[in-house]
Amino acid sequence: MSEQEHTEMEHQHEHTGPGYMTPQAAIERSEPETLAYVVGTHVGTDVDEPDFVAVVDLDPESSNYGEITDRIDLPNRGDELHHFGWNACSSSCHVGGLERRYLIVPGNRSSRIHIVDAQDREHPELVDVIEPETVNELDLSAPHTVHCIGGGTVIISMLGDADGDLPGGFLELDEDLNVNGRWDHQGEIDFNYDFWYQPRHNAMVSSEWAAPKTYQPGFDLDDVEAGNYGHELQFWNWEERTVEQTVDLGEEGLIPLEVRFLHTPEHAHGFVDAALSSNIFRFWKRDGEWHAEKVIDFESRDHEDWDMPVPALPTDILLSMDDRYLFGSNWLHGEVWMYDVSDPANPQYADSISIGGYFGDRQEVQGRELVAGPQMLQLSLDGERLYWTTSLYSSWDDQFFPEEAERGSVMLKADVNPRKGTMTLDEEFLVDFGDLPDGPARAHEIRWPDGDCTSDIWE
């Protein structure tokens, strides 16, 4: 029996809940995405309107292809929608009675958490709002990553305390999406950002950005000198909710952002992007200890408008569902890239697309000028279509790509050939968040209705 066949046998269990039984089943049984949910924010623009969740038509056979066909406008202004997630995913594929129905949509700047019912996939609606005071009572603020947990509960990483200082922590929602309390034991960590769990190894890994009071006003080089940005990974005992080991990535691991375990639940290794240091680290467990090492290094480049070399700033990464390719976005350099990580210790460059940013070879699509680099990524479950948006965070956009506030974000797409390891920009696809009735908006994270490469986890 081959290793793959053996792995598939280990996955076999009753499938009565949401999602797919295995990552391979997600590849084989999913239908091509026909719509996406994309969060948009007006924070930092001249538009005095609430943020929103956009429904984007991705069906190439549709007359509305590439258009926003519906949107949920939120009740308040200034939330700064950022990352969001589902109430249930493939981690609950063996739990009957659950369905992937509700989107949990936090405002990073307001600490307000919105519950959106997406049972009607084309016309979702807002059904509940958790107000900031309820979050602050637990001495938490600035929600970031949302992950569904097997059984219907939800965990959200929180980047600050009630005052916007350190330490951060984790908020837990119960099966009815009400606040259930803190998931963590307070004081386990200082910095917080993204996280991913791997139940078969009783493990969770979390990364570090900064306190809300540090990053929300914008980037300040003095904060780097003062040690106000994170550079460590925290490896947790998943069941006991305690930090088991801390790995310091050092100066080459400044601001470790997105963390991705391999999708295959038997594997105890993954990747993280150190944005400010412009490196990719892999991490793995061996003989009961977690380790990390740099495996990709993006060199800074000279620019006539900068008095220092411009870092690549890889702000997002994701793994294809078959764990073969690692995709990423170098926001300042303006590149989307893919590496073959079949051997995680020796990633092999496969392809890249240069577009937008400070060095992008291509500066417009369909006549639309691109005023920022690629940022948040999402990949189809079959690994053949890669999408991205261009906004990082309103105050950081204003510093590095100020035209984003006037022109708004775009959403672009590349066709991926996973057999050859190549990408081709789809010049027929463009979603222009600068051309909205209320005025320009910034677009950030992307989600598919039936699961995607950055939200589904398997137990």
Q: What is the pLDDT of residues 42-96, one digit of tens each?
A: 999 999 999 999 999 999 999 999 999 999 999 999 999 999 999 999 888 888 8
List the domain boundaries for the chain.
23-447
Tell me: pLDDT of 362 over 80.
no
**pLDDT value at residue 174:** 97
Residue 147 has which token pair? 């992950």
**pLDDT value at residue 40:** 98
Residues contacting residue 226 through CB under 8 Å, at least 6 positions apart: none
Query: For the chain, what percent of residues have pLDDT higher than 90?
Result: 92
Integer Cα distance of 299 and 277 in angstroms: 9
Q: Which is more confidently placed, 254 or 362? A: 254
Closest among 163, 135, 259, 275 to 219, alpha carbons compared: 275
Compute the C-alpha angle 15/18/19, nearest 5°. Answer: 85
Integer Cα distance of 22 and 263 in angstroms: 9
Q: Under a CB-based contact definition with an 8 Å cutoff, are residues 271 and 260 in contact?
A: yes
Average pLDDT, the chain: 95
Sign of the dihedral defined by the CA atoms of residues 11, 14, 20, 24, in that order: positive
Residue 189 has which token pair? 């960590």
**pLDDT value at residue 12:** 60
pLDDT tens figures, 123-180: 999 999 999 999 999 999 999 999 999 888 999 999 999 999 999 999 999 999 999 9
Say how far residue 193 (Cα) sits from the centre of its chain: 11
Tell the residue number behind the tokens 């793994």, with chain if given.
319
Tell the residue number behind the tokens 């890669």, with chain if given.
386
In three-state secondary structure terms, 366 is coil
How much is the average pLDDT of 422-436?
Answer: 96
Closest among 31, 33, 97 to 66, alpha carbons compared: 33
Tell me: pLDDT of 213 over 90.
yes
How much is the average pLDDT of 401-428?
Answer: 97
Q: Under a CB-based contact definition with an 8 Å cutoff, are residues 316 and 327 in contact?
A: no
**DSSP single-letter state for residue 92:** G
Q: How confident is the model at residue 3 (pLDDT cuts 50, 70, 90)?
A: very low
Q: How confident is the model at residue 360 (pLDDT cuts 50, 70, 90)?
A: confident
Q: In this structure, what is the dihedral angle of CA atoms 212, 216, 217, 223, given to the nearest 10 degrees?
A: 60
- Give the predicted TM-score (pTM) of the model: 0.96
What 3 state SS string does 8-37 have? Answer: HHHHCCCCCCCCCCCHHHHHHHCCCCCEEE
In three-state secondary structure terms, 252 is helix
CATH of domain 23-447: 2.130.10.10
Beta partners for residue 329, in sequence order: 316, 336
Q: Cis omega (within 30 of 0) on the bond before 212?
A: no
Q: How confident is the model at residue 448 (pLDDT cuts 50, 70, 90)?
A: very high
Tell me: pLDDT of 370 over 60.
yes
Q: Under a CB-based contact definition with an 8 Å cutoff, are residues 73 and 50 in contact?
A: yes
Sign of the dihedral defined by the CA atoms of residues 127, 151, 145, 171, in that order: positive
